[in-house]
């Protein structure tokens, strides 16, 4: 027997793990890998995005509610999960935007913000790390800082001279960015809905999304087949009840159609210390055959 494959997904807030890469994680868990989610903040400054959850006591206790939601999503996906202990920075709005709150995650010095993640990398010893691109996937300050701490941890966790109190050094072998909700994905799935004449109250919204200008995305070097786990992904999303409106446009595309036209979750290989042929269909390509025997 070889040691189990280990995947670490680094996210900014509770619910991010269920909207980005959830089906991939569910697939690898079912195949015997260990999957850990590192959640950098508690999501304390998030909005309530599901109108059905505007109930007495929810907003006042949002931090605890979101922890409970995260636990339900964790159980559905079958992953392990740790909160890294930082406070949500919120998404500043205005022109110019107001300063970020004192003490929040996004204003921490890099070595302070990365220290818990370096410790987790050395403890969990992932072969692969998933994170956001330098723009955070979208420019939320916590997502951008999550990218920064992920890159720091990938490099620093292997260096015995850095973070000396964080455990024995460990070198992850690959690091990927999520490539999600691209222009290509949007136009493909929306075009299929139109081709089939499927009626939805959200068609106007989907048409607007598919026609608007989207930022240029990273090349998808790696497409992981995981369509059979899209329903698990959606169950995990529903567990984040304050953040996900089940009647919203996010769920306007039937899972069976999504499986047919886009049955993968996609990634960009940003760092690798092993050889693998691109394009890939496996995050552990180049790693599986080299694991030591227990």
Average pLDDT (167-192) is 92
Query: At residue 294, does pLDDT exceed 50?
Result: no
pLDDT of res. 181: 85
Two tokens at 11?
């996210």
User: pLDDT digit string (tens) for 182-193?
Assistant: 888 888 888 888
Q: 143 labelled as ligand-binding?
A: yes
Domain spans of the chain? 6-181+218-290
Pick the CATH number of 6-181+218-290 from 3.40.50.10320, 3.10.180.10, 3.30.450.40, 3.40.50.1700: 3.40.50.10320
Average pLDDT (268-288) is 96
Average pLDDT (271-278) is 96
Pairing between strand 264-272 and 222-225? antiparallel
Asked if 41 contacts 146 with a C-beta cutoff of 8 angstroms, the reply is no
What is the Cα–Cα distance from 141 to 67, expressed in whole angstroms?
21
pLDDT of res. 194: 82
Residue 112: enclosing H or E segment and its boundaries? helix 110-124
Dihedral, CA of residue 267, residue 270, residue 276 and residue 281, to nearest 10 = 0
pLDDT of res. 128: 98
pLDDT of res. 193: 83
pTM (2 d.p.) = 0.94
Residue 7: enclosing H or E segment and its boundaries? strand 6-11
DSSP state string for 22-80: HHHHHHHHHTT-EEEEEEEE--TT-----GGG--TTTGGGHHHHHHHHHHHHHHHHT-E
User: pLDDT digit string (tens) for 213-224?
Assistant: 777 789 999 999
């Amino acid at each position: 027997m070889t040691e189990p494959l280990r995947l670490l997904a680094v996210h900014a807030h509770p619910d991010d793990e269920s909207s980005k890469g959830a089906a991939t994680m569910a697939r690898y868990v079912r195949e015997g890998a260990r999957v850990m989610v590192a959640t950098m903040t508690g999501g304390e400054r998030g909005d309530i995005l599901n109108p059905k959850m505007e109930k007495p006591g929810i907003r006042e206790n949002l931090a605890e509610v979101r922890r409970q939601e995260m636990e339900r999503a964790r159980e559905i996906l079958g992953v392990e999960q740790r909160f890294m202990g930082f406070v949500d920075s919120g998404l500043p709005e205005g022109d110019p935007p107001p300063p970020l709150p004192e003490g929040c995650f996004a204003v921490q010095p890099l070595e302070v913000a990365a220290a818990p993640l370096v410790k987790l990398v050395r403890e969990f010893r992932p072969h692969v790390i998933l994170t956001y691109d330098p723009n955070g996937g979208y420019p939320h300050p916590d997502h951008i800082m999550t990218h920064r701490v992920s890159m720091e941890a990938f490099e620093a966790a292997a260096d015995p001279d850095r973070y000396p109190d964080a455990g024995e050094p460990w070198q992850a072998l690959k690091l990927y960015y999520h490539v999600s909700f691209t222009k290509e994905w949007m136009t493909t799935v929306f075009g299929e809905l139109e081709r089939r004449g499927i009626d939805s109250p959200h068609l106007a919204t989907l048409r607007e999304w598919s026609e608007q200008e989207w930022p240029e995305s990273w090349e998808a070097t790696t497409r992981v087949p995981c369509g059979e786990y899209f329903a698990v992904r959606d169950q995990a999303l529903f567990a984040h009840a304050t953040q996900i409106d089940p009647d919203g446009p996010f769920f306007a595309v039937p899972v069976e159609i999504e499986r047919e036209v886009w049955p993968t979750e996609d990634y960009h290989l940003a760092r690798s210390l092993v050889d693998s042929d691109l394009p890939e269909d496996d995050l552990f390509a180049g790693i599986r055959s080299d694991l030591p025997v227990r």
